[in-house]
Amino acid sequence: MVFSNLIKVSWKAVILNKMRTFLTMLGIIIGVGSVITMLAIGEGSKQSIRSQISQMGSNMITIRPGSQRVGGVRIDDGSQRSMTLKDVEVVQSCMNIDAVSPIVQSSGQTIRESNNWPSTMYGVYPEYLDIKKMELKKGSMFSQRHISQSSKVAVIGQTVVTNLFGDEDPIGKTIRFKSTPFQIIGVLESKGENTFGQDQDNVILVPFTTVQKRILSITYVNSIVASAKSEDAAKQAVEEVTNALRKLHKSNEGNDPFSVMSMEELLTTVSSTTEILTALLVAIAGISLLIGGIGIMNIMYVSVKERTREIGLRMAVGGRSKDILLQFLTEAIFISVTGGIIGVFVGIAAAKITTFFTQWPTIITGSSLLISFFVCAITGIFFGWYPAKKAANLDPIVALRYE
């Protein structure tokens, strides 16, 4: 049969059973739609994580106490306290390292007159700003002199400003954190939420020594951040720092009481996590596509059974097995592809709606559309094949007399 005739005949069959065709299509529409939505959510979160991490500074290196690997490795109970300023010095002495800052942190209520707000206070070096790629909106950062004097000065984030000061200018004002008064000398430029939903503006930066000695009275540091001399040097820097710290802690691979991670590694870790999550979501969505495919197979079986006499007739008037096969296959593909096209639009719409209601970023890539489309064409061929083959193999004599 000529292609145009094939289309005509299949279209006719589809049109004659509008409701049935639509319901069958619905399975594919939902399947494809959900695959596309899930891919869009996955891609969206991946992209936003990427951009945020690179915003944080791609040459940043984070050193934390404790083992990066937990499974099967014994963790020293005191590992959380295993890092001190000695580690900071060791990191500073590394060739590939540009700047270093220890971090000690404490969370608690911050009070200003009758207002209070829960926030986190970070005790850091002045270099912290550069390492973290943070900017000052107004005022100034504390200096080395503030560190050596354990001054009670603070640079605060936008959230803290909003909640404690409203529209007032906070510079020069005093806030209290755990009953210690701090004078505000600077305000940070807003950074917004990070990928994990954490408010990056709800911070109070204070000289390292002030938090360590005055607030917490501890001798260790919570973590260390450093910046590599350049982005390219980040990898070498990680290696160098690891080796230097191993020397200091007399540890070796597998039982290091610390972990060193560059942003690039963090990026890979986070990306792989989101990728696994995306794969999971898509797999679940894929199951609905599969069920849609089975729906097509089911309806094609019904159709072949129902139209047995028609098949017999078509064969009697000159339809070859091949023609019958193609006719039913075209019908199946027609349903799946039309469903696929509608599903693509439904998927795009669903992604947009998801973003609208949840603020999750969604990105629809051309490849996801293309893949979904082809998967559904293949679904049509795959699930349409067997019923079509059954139709094509009918004996016209038997089919013509089928009741």
Partner 1 sequence: MERKPIIHIENLKKEFQVGDEVVRALKGVSYDIFEGEFVTIMGASGSGKSTMLNILGCLDKPTSGTYELDGVSVRELSNDKLAEIRNRKIGFVFQSYNLLPRTTCIENAELPLFYNHEVSAAERKERAINALNLVGLQQRLHHMPNQLSGGQQQRVAIARSLVNDPVVIFADEATGNLDTRMSYEIMGLFQDLNRQGKTIVFVTHEPDIAKMSKRTIVLRDGLVVEDIVYEHQVDAKEELAKLPVTD
Q: What is the DSSP letter of 79?
A: G
Judged by beta carbon, residue 1 or residue 221, the one nearer partner 1 is 1
4 binds partner 1 (CB under 8 A): yes
Judged by beta carbon, residue 70 or residue 317, the one nearer partner 1 is 317
396 binds partner 1 (CB under 8 A): yes
303 binds partner 1 (CB under 8 A): no
Instruction: Indicate which single residue of 73, 219, 320, 374 sits in contact with partner 1 (rule: CB under 8 A).
Output: 320
Phi and psi torsions of 266, nearest 5°: -60, -40
Judged by beta carbon, residue 16 or residue 70, the one nearer partner 1 is 16
19 binds partner 1 (CB under 8 A): no
Q: Indicate the helix (H) or strand (E) that contains 226.
A: strand 223-228
366 binds partner 1 (CB under 8 A): no
319 binds partner 1 (CB under 8 A): yes
Instruction: Indicate which single residue of 72, 172, 197, 318 sits in contact with partner 1 (rule: CB under 8 A).
Output: 318
Q: d(Cα 32, Cα 345) in Å, to the nearest integer?
A: 9
340 binds partner 1 (CB under 8 A): no
Angle at the Cα of 44 from the Cα atoms of 41 and 50, rounded to 5 degrees: 140
Instruction: Indicate which single residue of 126, 170, 312, 361 sits in contact with partner 1 (rule: CB under 8 A).
Output: 312
Q: Indicate the helix (H) or strand (E) that contains 117.
A: strand 115-124
Angle at the Cα of 257 from the Cα atoms of 251 and 262, rounded to 5 degrees: 105
Q: Three-state DSSP class for 295?
A: helix
Instruction: Indicate which single residue of 75, 316, 349, 378 sits in contact with partner 1 (rule: CB under 8 A).
Output: 316
- Give the other-Cβ count within 10 Å of 358's Cβ: 10
Distance between alpha carbon 29 and the CA centroid of its chain, in Å?
25
Q: What is the DSSP letter of 219?
A: S
Instruction: Indicate which single residue of 104, 315, 332, 391 sits in contact with partner 1 (rule: CB under 8 A).
Output: 315
Q: What is the DSSP letter of 222?
A: S
In 160-210 the beta strands, taken as DSSP E runs, fall at 174-177, 180-188, 203-207
Judged by beta carbon, residue 177 or residue 328, the one nearer partner 1 is 328
Judged by beta carbon, residue 10 or residue 336, the one nearer partner 1 is 10
9 binds partner 1 (CB under 8 A): yes
186 backbone φψ class: left, alpha, beta (φ>0; ψ -120 to 50): beta
Task: Quote the least distance from Cβ 366 to partner 1, whole Å.
Answer: 37
Task: Select from 137-145, 151-159, 307-315, 351-359 the region that touches partner 1 (CB under 8 A).
Answer: 307-315
User: Quick one: angle between helices 308-316 and 321-358, nearest 10?
Assistant: 130
Task: Quote the least distance from Cβ 22 to partner 1, whole Å.
Answer: 17
86 binds partner 1 (CB under 8 A): no
Task: Quote the least distance from Cβ 2 to partner 1, whole Å.
Answer: 5
Angle at the Cα of 166 from the Cα atoms of 189 and 202, rounded to 5 degrees: 45
2 binds partner 1 (CB under 8 A): yes
Q: d(Cα 377, Cα 374) in Å, to the nearest integer?
A: 5
- Give the other-Cβ count within 10 Å of 355's Cβ: 16
Task: Quote the least distance from Cβ 322 to partner 1, whole Å.
Answer: 7
Task: Quote the least distance from Cβ 270 to partner 1, whole Å.
Answer: 58
Judged by beta carbon, residue 26 or residue 313, the one nearer partner 1 is 313
In 52-158 the beta strands, taken as DSSP E runs, fall at 60-65, 97-112, 115-124, 136-139, 153-156
Q: Where do contacts with partner 1 occur on this chain (CB under 8 A)?
A: 1-2, 4-5, 9, 12, 16, 309-310, 312-323, 396-397, 400
